[in-house]
Amino acid sequence: MKLVSTRNADLAVSFGNAVLDCIPLDGGLYVPAKEEDLRPWIMYMDESTSFASIAGTLTAALLKDEFSPVVTERIAATAFTGLSPELRQLDDNVWSLELYHGPTGCHKDFALLWFASALSHICTIQDRSATVLAATGGMTGRSMATAFAGKPRLKTILVYPKGAAAGLDAASLASNGGNIWPVEIEGTLQDAQRLVRDIYNDRRLVEERGLTLANTMNIGRLLPHVFSYMYAFTRLRKRVGGDIFYAVPSGNYGNLVAGLYSWKFSLPVNGFLTDATAALSCDMSGKCECRDSSIPLLSRGPADPASPSNLERLEQVFAVNPMMLRGFVFPVEVADSSIPELTRQAYKKYGVFLDPHAARAYGAVVAAGNRVYADEGTVVLVSKDHPAFEADTIAGYTGARPEVPDLFRGFNESVRALTRIGAERGALEALVKEITG
């Protein structure tokens, strides 16, 4: 699988190189160089095919030019054995794709587990090591630490704002012989992101210390989100007729772009609903527009390694035919004030709890109605994080409290084995050098 930069189609690299050195020199983002026809594999799989098998089959199909079938199957099996998203039918037309059934209840679990497995295998093949440096808060930090814990040839440095490090498995920490280094700074999450951004903007230091990212700026973190869309289709294709749409929370557009990559890889899908934002919304005629598109790519600043957006990737998907964007992605205005009522409505109608992101996507479904999809169409609502994370808020909206699963036990326990530093670039750089030897 070849990858090119969004800002230079001639800058082509292998998947392995794009994962290890994930920031193109031109300031863009790596994207697939061409469409991949995965239809033979997609149509072969059905509801009896496990998520791990789906991921293994598609990993082999996408990366067949770089890795043997044995390696690609092992990457997926190491990541997903015994784990799977869940698809729940809500009514005749609406289904819920629940991405929170991983080990920490965070939708990032599945992508991070695959990415950590792939990165470890790549480092083993190339006889090298890699270090992930990330600014993070509680939920994402737990997900990352769980995915990377014990992975050969990998080290992970998690930079937390003061007081945010919690819920990490003590056995995974470097102080106990593990490969996870939690670091607390005297500052906010924005301060942590600033420090990490400064480190990754130092190209010499990144190369010298073998640093890479584990957020969606890294194509290796984004690509495995494709598997969830493929999984949902295998469960739907023999049960529904007509068009299939996905309702995806906006976020940083990683899930939306992964859905569009699924389509480019031949997944049968008729469009995507999402909540509108200032960056992606509708023009006066009601058609989708990406407002950044008016600014030439080479006139923009570089992609942000600490807090990336995937809008540039979305633009690249439709660069050849911009009109496709208008007939395939449907942003719908969902007011902040409507979230309580949407959460309450979904619980009353379907008996499901929606986290705030999923409530926004549900708002897009409600508002779009037959304007986008006909009565015989099917809408898959993407639910990201476990509703128990927002139990108090949801209880206030619905009068009922989501059940807190056992996996949440210990999530609020502070991490004792912390390295504490000031919010200065020099302090973090010195620590990175110490850890990476």
**Please, where are the H alpha helices in 189-293?**
189-200, 203-209, 219-222, 226-236, 254-264
What's the pLDDT score for residue 298? 78
Report the distance separating Cα 169 and Cα 171, nearest Å: 5
What's the pLDDT score for residue 289? 85
Inter-CA distances, 102 with 116, 165, 257, Å: 14, 20, 21
The per-residue b/e assignment along 358-393, b for 16 or more CB within 10 angstroms, e otherwise, is bbbbbbbbbbbeeebbeeebbbbbbbbbbbbbbbee
Residue listed under structure tokens 């054995």: 81
Tokens of 27: 């300031």
Which segments of the chain have a pLDDT < 50? none
Read off the pLDDT of residues 74-132 as tens digits, 9 standing for 90 and up: 999 999 999 999 999 999 899 999 999 999 999 999 999 999 999 999 999 999 999 99
Residue 43 placed within a domain: no
What's the pLDDT score for residue 294? 75
Report the distance separating Cα 376 and Cα 378, nearest Å: 7
Number of domains the chain is built from? 1
Residue 282 placed within a domain: yes
Q: How many C-beta neighbours within 10 Å does residue 35 have?
A: 12
**CATH number, domain with residue 399:** 3.40.50.1100
Report the distance separating Cα 261 and Cα 84, nearest Å: 20
Exposed/middle/buried for residue 419 (C-beta within 10 Å: 0-12, 13-18, 19+): middle
How many CA atoms are closer than 13 Å to the CA of 382, on its beta-carbon side?
Answer: 31
Inter-CA distances, 188 with 22, 138, 166, 354, Å: 26, 13, 15, 28
What's the pLDDT score for residue 67? 94
Report the distance separating Cα 8 and Cα 4, nearest Å: 7
Residue 54 placed within a domain: no
**Of all helices (H) and strands (E), which one includes residue 97?**
strand 94-98
State whether residue 89 is helix, strand or coil: strand
What's the pLDDT score for residue 373? 65
Tokens of 240: 């529904």
Read off the pLDDT of residues 307-334 as tens digits, 9 standing for 90 and up: 999 999 998 988 867 777 778 899 999 9
Report the distance separating Cα 369 and Cα 382, nearest Å: 17
What's the pLDDT score for residue 242? 84
Q: How far is CA 135 from the centre of its chain?
A: 16
Q: Which residues contact 409 (CB under 8 A, 6 or more apart)?
A: none
Report the distance separating Cα 260 and Cα 276, nearest Å: 17
Report the distance separating Cα 223 and Cα 232, nearest Å: 16
State whether residue 145 is helix, strand or coil: helix
Beta sheet of 154-160, edge-to-edge order: 211-212, 130-135, 154-160, 180-185, 419-421
Report the distance separating Cα 170 and Cα 148, nearest Å: 14
Q: How many C-beta neighbours within 10 Å does residue 175 have?
A: 14
Report the distance separating Cα 50 and Cα 17, nearest Å: 29
Residue 6 placed within a domain: no
**Please, where are the H alpha helices in 45-107?**
51-62, 69-80
Nearest to 123 by CA among 13, 12, 17: 17
The residue segments making up the domain with residue 202 are: 87-437
Indicate the pTM of the whole model. Answer: 0.96
